[in-house]
Amino acid sequence: MKFINRDTSWLGFNERVLLEAGSKDVPLIERLKFLSIFSSNLDEFSRVRIPSINAEKKALKKEGGVSIAQKVKETIEAQQNLYGATLAEILSLLKKEDVIILYKEEADKEITDVLNEYFFSKIASYLHVRYLDESSLFFPENHFLYLVGEAKDRNEIAVVNIPSEYINRFLVVQKNGKTYFAFIDDILRMNLGKIWIGKGIEKAYSIKVSRNAELFLEDEEEGNLLKKVSTQITKRDTGLAARLLYDAEMPASILNKIKQVFGLENAMLVEGGRYHNLKDLNKIAVGNKSLYYPKAPVIDYKIKQSFLFDELRKKDVLLHLPFHKYDTVLRFFNEASLDPFVTEINMTVYRLSHTSQIAETLISAAGNGKKVTVFVELKARFDEANNIVWAEKMRDAGVKIIYSIPNKKVHAKVVLVKRKTEKKTQLFGILGTGNFNELTALFYTDHIYMTSQKSLLNDLDKLFKVLKKKQKQISEVDFTPSSLLIAPFNLKQRFYELIDREIAHAKSGRYAYIRVKFNNLEDKQIIKKLYEASNAGVRIDLMVRAICCLNPGVKGQSELITVCRVVDRYLEHGRIFYFENGGDSEVFLGSSDWMTRNIDRRVEVCFPVLDKRYKKELTDILDIYFNDGVKATGIKKDQVFKPGKNTGQAQVEMFKYLAV
């Protein structure tokens, strides 16, 4: 098989997350959080990929007689079974710590009165009760939870919402030194006779409908994109049903009626457990610190000069998040806002925090007389609404806001500051691998490069000029960067050239080596180029966190290619590209994965690390990751990942390395 299917690869990554929830060396509450992440990832997969899979399944070729749609369904069902077993184990261990999550069991009599009182005092305020027959129409809202029952004497389906979008999913009760967490789902089940009065329904089953999350922006080049995105966001929750997740114990008679009454004939039907939306497990919180990861040390970047900009005139600054404090990034923006010689601040925004200090600083900078221009990507999936809110707030404060380029997403993570004195104009910039988001910076591993190097920033200045013009066909713009790798202008071509150079070294008998760490590898053209390199004698080591369509270790195709992934305490997000180049190695960082969407349909920025000290540092970091013998695994079930000499845990070793 030349390529691995992207959807089964995505599910493979999510299974690795699930396996981390089962890891004995992870504290119990943190294991619950991995279960939460698994559930959240699966929900996103259902909303983003299953509609496409369902639409294409008739046209898809068979793989061993099984369609991709069937294979995906079987994989999800197997993972759900493993999920249930893992959760049961964690709950049993938590009970020994006097943390009792009531799961498929009756509440102790000593807290039953508390639960029933909570039903009337709180939950009942948000209940919407419906009775439906075959002629009724009912629209289950996207990702909302419902209980359904069958009133057989009247041939009706009884429906009530589980109001977790209004109140906490769990009621916490402290009793006799124990902490109880009761699902509000079960409090409803305890009170069915008070909800479906006189219906004689004694049992209820949970369901959830996931709807298509894609935004359909026809004729994107015309009209007001802001208005179109805003309209589509409101429609997202009323889109076509992609998946019905239902309690496996539900009788077939109820399931068949639900399909008809809810209009779910074309949705993928997936058996689940008693509870859905178990991403809510991340809301479980207790006071016992031993049930959490120990507090991680965070490294201060020591600035030797009075001002960060003075430091950047003398040398570059490279931060590795979350191992370094984010304060240095915030300081960059704050200095730019206050410095009387700073005249311009230009920035791209893909995902901001809901409480973004950076956005507030940009507002202050505009108030301080700076010319502030922010390019806001309106099509950042699931962050569209937050981006619109911040964009409008910044615009009202005097920040110039530029919204999305038609048919392109701007995914670059860059900032450019212009500082003018009587003698000259100086440029300062940030080029990064992750979003300018103070919250995700606490648990995403990323790299932030601050510099005043003209060769990089002159290219960045030209890019912002292109973005400000907002051409409809940006890929046709006459712009060839001299130092940066910018999609869609030269990024793909430059990576091809770098791979071809390694091929030439290998054919000349020199050692040739490529080592890359990123999130996704899906573009078939680049994969074929890597296969070509492997067959030419280039050794290739890849660390791909999530989707990987490259099939490693195949004779005559990819014998010299290894692929692994790391799933640990922090979400691996940083992108590092290393090319041996006959001993004169080159190292790049950037925002782009090797996916078709990144290199052909987005504006991305990757950049060479020119400082020799930081090139060495990033090479060492790659060594640390590719030598992980604890959390690094192969991407295929039959693949055993063999680390190098060091069998440490990469994220732990990172602190040790950077703290020196």
Residues 6+ apart with CB under 8 A from 584: none
Q: How far apart are CA 429 and CA 452, in angstroms?
A: 6
State the number of CA atoms in the 13 A half-sphere of 602 facing the CB: 24
Residues 6+ apart with CB under 8 A from 61: none
Q: How far apart are CA 124 and CA 194, in angstroms?
A: 10
Two tokens, residue 416: 């450019």
Q: Which residue type sits at 403? A: Y
Q: Environment class of residue 634 by beta-carbon count within 10 Å: exposed (0-12), middle (13-18) or buried (19+)?
A: middle
Q: Identify whether the C-beta of residue 395 lies closer than 8 Å to the C-beta of residue 359.
A: no
Q: Quote the pLDDT of residue 210.
A: 83
Lowest mean pLDDT among 102-111, 119-128, 567-576: 102-111
214 or 504: whose pLDDT is higher? 504
pLDDT band at 638 (very low <50, low <70, confident <90, very high): low
Per-residue buried b or exposed e for 2-18, using 16+ beta carbons within 10 Å of the residue's own CB: eebbbbebbbbbbbbbb
Collapsing DSSP to helix, strand or coil, 191 comes out as coil
State the number of CA atoms in the 13 A half-sphere of 11 facing the CB: 20
Q: Quote the pLDDT of residue 66.
A: 59
> Is the per-residue pLDDT at 229 higher than 60?
no
Q: Which residues are catalytic?
A: 411
Q: What is the DSSP letter of 355?
A: T
Q: How far apart are CA 43 and CA 369, in angstroms?
A: 45
> Is the per-residue pLDDT at 606 higher than 80?
yes
Q: How far apart are CA 630 and CA 567, in angstroms?
A: 10
Residues 6+ apart with CB under 8 A from 134: 155, 257, 260, 261
CATH of 6-291, one of 3.30.1840.10, 3.40.190.10, 3.40.50.920, 3.10.20.30: 3.30.1840.10
| Axis crossing angle, helix 524-536 with helix 491-507, rounded to the nearest 10 | 10
Residue written as tokens 């009756």? 106
Lowest mean pLDDT among 278-282, 474-478, 613-617: 474-478
Q: How far apart are CA 268 and CA 532, in angstroms?
A: 39
| Angstrom distances, CA of residue 125 to CA of 120, 140, 163, 653 | 8, 19, 9, 51
Check if 6-291 and 308-476 are the same fold: no
Q: Which residue type sits at 283? A: K
Count helices and strands in the chain by DSSP H and E runs: 19, 26
Report which secondary-structure segment, H or E, holds 110.
helix 109-121
Q: Identify whether the C-beta of residue 345 lies closer than 8 Å to the C-beta of residue 436.
A: no
Query: In the CATH scheme, what is the code of domain 308-476?
Result: 3.30.870.10
Q: Quote the pLDDT of residue 161.
A: 96
Q: Which residue type sits at 619? A: T
Per-residue buried b or exposed e for 249-263, using 16+ beta carbons within 10 Å of the residue's own CB: ebeeebbebbbebbb
State the number of CA atoms in the 13 A half-sphere of 20 facing the CB: 26
What CATH class does 485-659 carry? alpha beta
Q: Quote the pLDDT of residue 385.
A: 83
Residue written as tokens 């539900």? 250
Collapsing DSSP to helix, strand or coil, 203 comes out as coil
Per-residue buried b or exposed e for 493-531, using 16+ beta carbons within 10 Å of the residue's own CB: ebbeebbebbbebbeeeeebbbbbbbbbbbbeebbebbb
Q: What is the DSSP letter of 613?
A: H
Q: What is the DSSP letter of 62?
A: P
> Is the per-residue pLDDT at 30 higher than 90?
yes
Q: Quote the pLDDT of residue 478.
A: 79
Two tokens, residue 484: 């940066």
Average pLDDT over residues 226-244: 60
- Domain range list for the chain: 6-291, 308-476, 485-659
Two tokens, residue 518: 């990123």
Q: How far apart are CA 482 and CA 442, in angstroms?
A: 34
Strand 425-432 relative to strand 444-451: parallel, antiparallel, unpaired?
antiparallel
In tens, the pLDDT along 349-380 reads 999 999 999 999 999 999 999 999 999 988 76
Residue written as tokens 């769990």? 170
Q: Quote the pLDDT of residue 7.
A: 93
- Tell me the pTM: 0.91
pLDDT band at 219 (very low <50, low <70, confident <90, very high): very low
Q: How far apart are CA 226 and CA 543, in angstroms?
A: 37
Q: How far apart are CA 44 and CA 546, in angstroms?
A: 14
